[in-house]
Structure 1
């Protein structure tokens, strides 16, 4: 931002037709929007809540009925295009969330939410740029909630909420910015839907590439393999083993050196690099047998299941030659390792593992608990390889699509920082 714009309500990036329009005018939210207080009064509506990072979600199908009961009498009617603020904070969104209703035509929301609609001549989709979970959204929500926390909980009064100041340009400039943001959101939504289609396709493909319960051969076999006969039933202990990491001490931790692979680094089908940890570089030689290589598969052995999906991932470049910590296991097999990786992702397998580790806190997985689980697998290694290659190529498309969505979100965040002036 130039020095000329540094202390003014002028964005860094402006469309040519508005460059001479001067500063944006400061308006309170109460000047541009009005609170919604219409009660349900026995209307048959779906009750909805705000899910941080998602938007509005139906609380449950069972509430899609007459909610005239006493417990619902104070619920507020919200129409499509109107907004609500849920001050119920979460770890990811400690200041709460503001979203526009677009998932339903009309819903009932708890009166604990602060609900509002924009007045004529003010474009709601423009102001959504202030509310979004980005640079400006974080700034705004921190400002709204500053000093509003009591006993660890948010206590925000409506008049304070509506007193927040939001710089705004003319209606035509608001509309222009809103169109850009809507276009980006549509691109993100379309690519997210494509990602979900790929994931669903993979799920369906796995169901035909592996035998289902009660079957000894899969529904689909590649032409060059169709005459190979039935798959062999074996206990897991004859399919693979788990090599556990070393109990390194937290006192060994250093700021840089050899990568230390911990439980937190193992996600669902992907490695996580959020909080890197390191051990002294000399440990690479001292504990050589506990290193992992790119292409190895590692499994979290404490809390190994998240949303009924196994925390199992392939080691990538960042963790090549990393030192394996205790409670993280490396898959060791004479079979095709990628085939075993996909075998362990099968929903029936995850259900069985989950059942075997249930009842413990935290849930810990040991190979003894699962070594006798029976599975079917091809006796010919080339059939294992063919299945693994097919699913691996699909995973590459899924990763590429996920990366594309992330890049679009980064682009949107950067663009919004330039399209809106900083909140004072």
Structure 2
């Protein structure tokens, strides 16, 4: 066992450009920096190939068990580029975390000369390399099986919350339009040339995620100017809905305003529910907005500039259960206890999944970091 530089044992070759319009669908995978992106009738490499992200998903390592076509955003290593066992080499490259080299250099993209300087422990024989790779392949296969099972638990936990909400509202009778109990106020069309980097925050549709207000992307209005728009000033507990692209893969973009979100003003394409006094419990309304019935009712509406869009009027026309305030509050109290239990299950499942997803790097570290000891 000896310590060598990557450049001593292999060569990173550049992939070759192959635009989508020139591809002829066939049996060979076309690889980009993030994995397979199509197929082609001919291959550019010989046999099993390691593909490494050069631009885009920088440092990502993929293995094609057959000849393939890596495009020009990648490097590749096949049997003509190394005498090492390709599986052993691929696991070593994954362990090196080549993506960090991009951050270190400050230049977008992976420079192969930087990769060549990384050091690995080289077993004396190719058979030893093969045995290490075979052991890791078996261990990682078990980890992947566990990861898939854990991912299923996470999905099931999320579905449980939906089932609880749907079951609650599915049992109710006597329905009326939301307009009977609340109005939906659309935000003000502030001009982008008035946006500032500091001042009073403007809550846009990009600031709403399912169940939370998200301030990673912030635009503001001058504090003095903001005083002119008090009718659009948000308050703690306000219920918001994104009127543009309200449905995303992780759920419906509705959220409640918290103290940390203030002060802020409502921007166009975001709606705020203004309940009529004594007509609707805010918690009841917020829970209903996350039900499959409401989501189904707002799906498939018009598009604005190619983006799925709903209007305040369309939201107000959706029917919800007609109940007394006391009954609404009893339902909300029971529902939130059930949702808290479901949240606990979901958090446990997510923590378990996160731990399993860390196992591959731990296995690689155990296999390769200890070799020189």
Matched, 1:169 2:120: yes
Query: 2:43: which partner in 1?
Result: 74
Q: Give the corresponding residue for 2:6.
A: 27
Query: How far apart in 1 are the matches of 2:66 and 2:106?
Result: 24
Cα separation, 1, equivalents of 2:236 and 2:297? 29
Distance 1:391 1:110, change over 3 A: farther
Partners of 2:150 and 2:285 in 1: how far apart?
Answer: 30
Per-residue deviation at 1:192?
5.9
Structure 2: tracts of 5 or more residues without a match: 16-25, 124-128, 362-367
Aligned equivalent of 1:263, options 205, 215, 218: 205
What is the aligned length?
329
Distance 1:75 1:167, change over 3 A: closer
Deviations 1:77-135 (A, max 9, x none): 987xx643467x7xxxx36562335xxx9688555475546824955333214456x53
Paired residue for 2:174, among 232, 235, 242? Answer: 232
Distance 1:287 1:400 in 2: 44
Aligned equivalents of 2:46 and 2:282: distance in 1? 55
Q: Could you say what secondary structure the match of 1:302 adopts?
A: coil
Q: 1:342 to 1:262 in 2, by over 3 A?
A: same
Work out which of the residue numbers 259, 265, 269 in structure 2 matches 1:323.
265
8 Å CA contact retained: 2:165, 2:335: no
- Equivalent residue number for residue 201 of structure 1: 160
User: What's the CA shift for 1:291?
Assistant: 2.0
Equivalent of 2:289 in 334, 341, 344: 344
- Tell me the TM-score normalised to structure 1 length: 0.58
2:90 to 124, 131, 143: 124
CA drift of 1:260 comes to 2.0
Which string of whole-angstrom CA distances, capped at 9 and with x for unpartnered residues, describes residues 229-271 of structure 1?
Answer: x422112322432122223233433332222212221123332
C-alpha distance in 2, partners of 1:191/1:116?
A: 33
**Residue 299 (structure 1) shift:** 1.4
Question: RMSD across aligned C-alpha pairs, in angstroms?
Answer: 5.1
Flag the 1:170–1:29 CA change in 2: closer, same or farther, 3 A.
closer
| Structure 1 stretches lacking a partner, 5+ long | 1-20, 37-43, 60-66, 147-160, 212-216, 218-229, 414-418
Change (3 A) 1:289 1:364: same
Moved more, 377-386 or 388-397: 388-397
Which residue among 240, 250, 258 is the counterpart of 1:298?
Answer: 240
Give the aligned partner of residue 386 of structure 1. 334
> How many Å separate the matches in 1 of 2:303 and 2:193?
32
Change in Cα spacing, 1:301 to 1:281, as seen in structure 2 (3 Å) is same
- Cα separation, partners in 2 of 1:206 and 1:32, compared to 1, 3 Å: farther
How far has the Cα of 1:25 moved from its partner? 4.5
User: d(CA) in 1 for partners of 2:313 and 2:304?
Assistant: 16
- Compute the displacement of 1:272 (Å): 1.9
CA distance in 2, matches of 1:26, 1:202: 52
Change (3 A) 1:100 1:255: same
**Higher-helix-fraction structure:** 2
When residues 35 and 327 of structure 1 are mapped into structure 2, their CA distance, relative to the original with a 3 A threshold, is closer
**Matched-pair contact (CA < 8 Å) for 2:59–2:110:** no
d(CA) in 2 for partners of 1:350, 1:247: 26
Shift of 1:168: 0.9
**Quick one: distance in 2 between partners of 1:143 and 1:29?**
25
CA contact (8 A) 1:378 1:384 kept: no
Q: CA deviation at 1:290?
A: 1.7
Aligned to 2:216: 274
Equivalent in the alignment of 1:135:
100
SS in 2 for 1:371: helix
1:244 aligns with 2:186: yes
Alpha-carbon distance in structure 2 between the residues aligned to 1:341 and 1:321:
21
**Contact 1:28–1:163 (CA<8 Å) still a contact in 2?**
no
Q: Deviations over 1:153-190 (max 9, x none)?
A: xxxxxxxx699524113248x99xxx9xx8xx989989
